[in-house]
Amino acid sequence: MTALFFIDVLKKQPSFVHGTSPRCHVKNGVRKPLFCSDKGDEKLFFEDQIVFLHSLGIVTKVFFRVTQVHGNHVYVLKDSSIPVSEVGLCEADAIITHIPDCPIVVLTADCVPIIIYDPIKHVVGVVHAGRLGTQKRILTNTVEALSREYGSKPKNLIVGMGPAIRGCCYELDEPCALPFIKKSPFFSEFINKTGGNKFFLDLPKVNRFEGYEAGILMKNIYTDGPCTSCENDRWYSYRREGKTGRLITLAMLQSRE
Ligand SMILES: [Zn+2]
**What pLDDT is stored for residue 36 in this prediction?**
85
**What pLDDT is stored for residue 47 in this prediction?**
86
Within a domain: residue 36? Answer: yes
User: Ligand 1 centroid to 101 CA: how many Å?
Assistant: 35
- The model's pTM is 0.96
User: Ligand 1 centroid to 56 CA: how many Å?
Assistant: 27
Give me the CATH number covering residue 100: 3.60.140.10
List, for residues 118-164, the tens digit of each pLDDT value: 999 999 999 999 999 999 999 999 999 999 999 999 999 999 999 99
User: Ligand 1 centroid to 191 CA: how many Å?
Assistant: 14
How many CB atoms within 10 Å of residue 151?
11
**What pLDDT is stored for residue 181 in this prediction?**
92
Sheet strands side by side (includes 158-161): 74-77, 94-97, 123-129, 112-118, 158-161, 221-222
Chain centroid to CA 192: how far? 24
User: Ligand 1 centroid to 230 CA: how many Å?
Assistant: 4
49 vs 56: CA distance, rounded Å: 11
Within a domain: residue 102? Answer: yes
User: Ligand 1 centroid to 223 CA: how many Å?
Assistant: 14
- Pick out the chain residues at pLDDT < 50: none
Spatial neighbors of 222 by CB under 8 A, at least 6 apart, are 7, 8, 9, 10, 158, 159, 160, 161
User: Ligand 1 centroid to 206 CA: how many Å?
Assistant: 15
User: Ligand 1 centroid to 112 CA: how many Å?
Assistant: 13
**What pLDDT is stored for residue 16 in this prediction?**
98
Within a domain: residue 106? Answer: yes
> Which of the 8 DSSP states describes residue 14?
T
User: Ligand 1 centroid to 232 CA: how many Å?
Assistant: 9
**What pLDDT is stored for residue 7 in this prediction?**
96
121 vs 109: CA distance, rounded Å: 30
Q: Residue 69 belongs to what domain range? A: 8-163+228-252
**What pLDDT is stored for residue 22 in this prediction?**
94
Number of domain units in the chain:
1
